[in-house]
């Protein structure tokens, strides 16, 4: 990405002199200085979004859907630019950037396809047959605040912003400072496709300051990020009685069943654990295998993990990219060191790769993680997977569910048995013979977390309906009118008693 193209994207932001340097995590070098916005600027962005939304809500749903289709076409044309930007800002591998980009294109098509049906007026059973009719309209809430993290800036933008726009809302989105360019480019293409410029504003700045200013001014907030921040957003939204959806962290387990093919299970664990260098909310962080096969499985997984290529490349030659910055490297190393100091064994990886770049970390397999180790229950959010043994299925399920989080889970083995285990897992998604991609790739399937992994769901029609208010419309019809005086019930009561028996 040339400096002029970067400056053209940043030109969409106010030219504040308060800036932060954004570094390329692959080499630690500065990419550019990103202006930091003030509370007054966020409030002004919400005001102008509110004005733009008035006309947008009147635009026929089919026209809005056509714009999303056009956006999806433009994204296909500009695929390489998205891949370059994602790699520049996150340093994930080209393959992981590609998975993210394809998913984002699909979301534009999906919401274009379902908008008309999802938002259409629905006739409901009226409580008083013949005398009244009832309908439900789904009306936009107004201005939606979308707060996104740095790990999947393109996919999460599309999954949360597009359904809000398609439903007739305006959006003010807070991009993470680290990945603002990707989000600005997505918005730029949306405007080129026909989205009015003031309808979707991207804002940036200090997380708490800008995040609070958004939650304090919008009509709904869709938050994606850590559980700790999600709780703060929920409290603030509750004070204003606005709706919010929270897509938070995971500590995602995989259970390998006794009848599983060990080599295949190791391969599935590999793909499930190391997507975007494990910096993925649905990434597998712990795998439970029958004690009988634990050693063999661990050996297979360690062998495969050691064979992964780690490095920078703008083609599909590297399996794993870098961690996204200094804090991430410190975080991941801290978890691994703590696990080792409390008795865990590293069987693959476990070290940084400074000769490749400042924040690269080898994909890592550990075993015998002690209950006192921080990573036993906390989300590592890096390329680290822990293998543990289990005696029987009840134990495996108990261990898998022994967490405050419940985002994703996986079961590997014969499908029928795996389905039975899936029913007993407390997670918003369960993937069978796959780590996360089976559910993650489906736009029709709701995505979200049980317990402290979140509230509400994105994707599917519900992913759009969360941004609407249900408006009930009731009509009284002649010739018989609803009674207005007590004595009218002399005639009406027998009829109403008949009706109540008759209603199914």
Q: Give me the residues that bind ligand NAD (CB under 6 A), please.
A: 147-152, 156, 174, 176, 207-208, 211-212, 224-226, 229, 232-233, 247-250, 281, 379, 381, 407, 454
Query: Exposed, middle or buried by CB within 10 Å (0-12, 13-18, 19+), for 345?
Result: middle
Nearer Cβ to ligand NAD, position 367 or 408? 408
Active site residue 244: no
SS (H, E, C) 310-337: ECCCCCCCCCECCCCCHHHHHHHHHHHH
- From 89, 100, 247, 379, the catalytic residue: 247
State which residue, 156 or 339, has the beta carbon closest to ligand NAD.
156
Q: How far is the CB of 453 from ligand NAD (least distance, A)?
A: 6
Q: Whose CB is nearest to ligand NAD?
A: 211
Instruction: Output the smallest distance, CB 447 to ligand NAD, in A.
Output: 7
3-state secondary structure of 39: helix
Ramachandran angles phi, psi of 216, nearest 5°: -75, -10
DSSP state of 415: H
By beta-carbon proximity to ligand NAD, the closer residue of 397 and 407 is: 407
Residue 119 gets the label, from left (phi > 0), alpha (psi -120 to 50) or beta, of alpha
Longest CA span, the chain = 91
Q: How far is the CB of 400 from ligand NAD (least distance, A)?
A: 18
152: buried, middle or exposed (CB in 10 Å: 19+, 13-18, 0-12)? buried
- Helical ranges in 78-204 per DSSP H: 79-90, 94-119, 153-166, 180-193
- Local structure of 279: helix, strand or coil: coil
In the complex with ligand NAD, the residue whose CB is nearer, 250 or 357, is 250
| Dist CA 359 CA 357 (whole Å) | 6
Cis peptide, bond prior to residue 102, ω within 30 of zero: no
Whether 364 contacts 348, CB under 8 Å = yes
Give least dist CB 398 to ligand NAD, A. Answer: 23
Residue closer to ligand NAD by CB (options 20, 340) is 20
Q: For strand 19-23 and strand 30-35, is the pairing parallel, antiparallel, or unpaired?
A: antiparallel
CA distance 348 to 406: 27
| CA torsion, ordered 80, 86, 91, 94, to nearest 10 deg | -40
Q: Which is nearer to ligand NAD, 218 or 396 (CB)?
A: 218
Nearest approach in angstroms of CB 237 to ligand NAD is: 10
> To the nearest whole angstrom, how small is the minimum distance from the Cβ of residue 209 to ligand NAD?
8
Please choose, from the candidates 218, 146, 157, the residue with its C-alpha nearest in 3D space to the C-alpha of residue 184. 157
Q: Which is nearer to ligand NAD, 226 or 442 (CB)?
A: 226
Nearest-angstrom CA–CA distance, 439 and 458? 12
Token readout for 89 is: 């800002």
Question: Look-up: residue for tokens 């938070």?
Answer: 248
- Interacting residues of 149 by C-beta distance below 8 A, sequence separation 6+: 156, 176, 224, 225, 226
Judged by beta carbon, residue 249 or residue 389, the one nearer ligand NAD is: 249
Please say if 247 is a catalytic residue.
yes
Nearer to ligand NAD, 26 or 155 (CB): 155
Q: What is residue 245's three-state secondary structure? A: strand
Q: Shortest gap between Cβ of 245 and ligand NAD (angstroms)?
A: 10
Provide the minimum distance between the beta carbon of 123 and ligand NAD in the complex, in angstroms, as a whole number: 35
Among 70, 99, 281, 379, the one annotated catalytic: 281
- Ramachandran sector of residue 325 (left: φ over 0; alpha: ψ -120 to 50; beta: rest): left
Q: How far is the CB of 155 from ligand NAD (least distance, A)?
A: 9
**Annotated catalytic sites, by residue?**
247, 281
């Amino acid at each position: 990405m040339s400096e002029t193209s970067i400056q053209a994207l940043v030109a969409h932001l106010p030219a504040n002199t308060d800036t932060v340097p954004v570094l390329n995590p692959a080499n630690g070098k500065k990419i550019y200085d990103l202006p930091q916005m003030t509370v007054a600027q966020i409030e002004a962005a919400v005001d102008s979004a509110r004005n733009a939304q008035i006309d947008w809500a009147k635009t026929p749903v089919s026209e809005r859907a056509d714009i999303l289709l056009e956006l999806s076409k433009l994204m296909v044309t500009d695929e390489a630019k998205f891949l370059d930007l994602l790699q520049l800002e996150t340093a994930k591998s080209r393959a992981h950037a590609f998975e993210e980009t394809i998913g984002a294109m699909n979301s534009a098509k999906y919401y274009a396809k379902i908008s008309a049906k999802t938002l259409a007026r629905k006739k409901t059973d009226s409580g008083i047959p013949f005398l009244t009719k009832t309908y439900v309209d789904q009306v936009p809430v107004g201005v939606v605040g979308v707060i996104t993290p740095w790990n999947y800036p393109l996919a999460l933008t599309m999954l949360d912003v597009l359904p809000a726009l398609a439903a007739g809302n305006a959006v003010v989105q807070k991009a993470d400072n680290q990945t603002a360019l990707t989000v600005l480019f997505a918005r730029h293409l949306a405007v080129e496709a026909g989205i009015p410029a003031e309808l979707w504003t991207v804002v940036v700045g200090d997380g708490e300051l800008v995040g609070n200013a958004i939650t304090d001014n919008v009509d709904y907030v869709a938050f994606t990020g850590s559980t700790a921040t999600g709780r703060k957003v929920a409290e603030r939204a509750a004070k204003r009685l606005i709706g919010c959806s929270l897509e938070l962290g995971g500590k995602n387990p995989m259970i390998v069943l006794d009848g599983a093919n060990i080599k295949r299970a190791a391969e599935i664990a590999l793909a499930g654990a190391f997507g975007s260098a494990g910096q993925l909310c649905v990434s597998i962080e712990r795998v439970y295998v029958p004690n009988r096969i634990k050693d063999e499985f661990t050996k297979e997984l360690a062998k495969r993990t050691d064979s992964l290529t780690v490095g920078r490349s703008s083609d599909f030659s590297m399996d794993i990219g870098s961690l996204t910055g200094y804090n991430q490297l410190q975080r991941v190393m801290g978890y691994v060191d703590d696990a080792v100091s409390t008795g865990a064994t590293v069987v693959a990886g476990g070290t940084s790769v400074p000769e490749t770049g400042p924040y690269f970390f080898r994909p890592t397999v550990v075993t015998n993680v002690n209950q006192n180790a921080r990573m036993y229950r906390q989300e590592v959010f890096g390329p680290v997977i822990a293998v543990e043994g289990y005696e029987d299925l009840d134990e495996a399920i108990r261990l898998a569910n022994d967490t405050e989080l419940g985002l994703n889970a996986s079961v590997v083995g014969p499908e029928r048995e795996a389905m039975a285990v899936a029913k007993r897992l407390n997670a918003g998604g369960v993937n069978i013979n796959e780590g996360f991609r089976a559910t993650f790739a489906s736009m029709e399937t709701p995505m979200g977390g049980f317990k402290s992994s979140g509230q509400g769901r994105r994707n599917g029609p519900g992913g759009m309906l969360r941004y609407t208010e249900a408006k009930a419309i009731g009509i009284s019809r002649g010739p018989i009118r609803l009674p207005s005086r007590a004595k009218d019930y002399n005639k009406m009561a027998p009829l109403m008693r008949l009706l109540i028996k008759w209603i199914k």
